[in-house]
Amino acid sequence: MSVHVSLDELLKERGMSLTELSEKVGLTLANLSILKTGKAKAIRFSTLDALCRVLDCQPGDILRYSDE
């Protein structure tokens, strides 16, 4: 897939665990794990909004496109 999720890097930069993010965003750990590993096929705008709010970032900080 050409769209990559940079959630792992953002969590490291913020010193936050996936479990902590799960609690703050209100998503299950399983769903966040699927997103983090790049296995997700889609993401809801409400989920992206919540992630950006909690991680204090822009959507482009989470999702990036690469044609490689």
Tens of pLDDT, residue by residue over 37-52, are: 989 999 999 999 999 9
Type of residue numbered 42: A
Percent of the chain at pLDDT above 70? 99
- Residue 34's pLDDT is 95
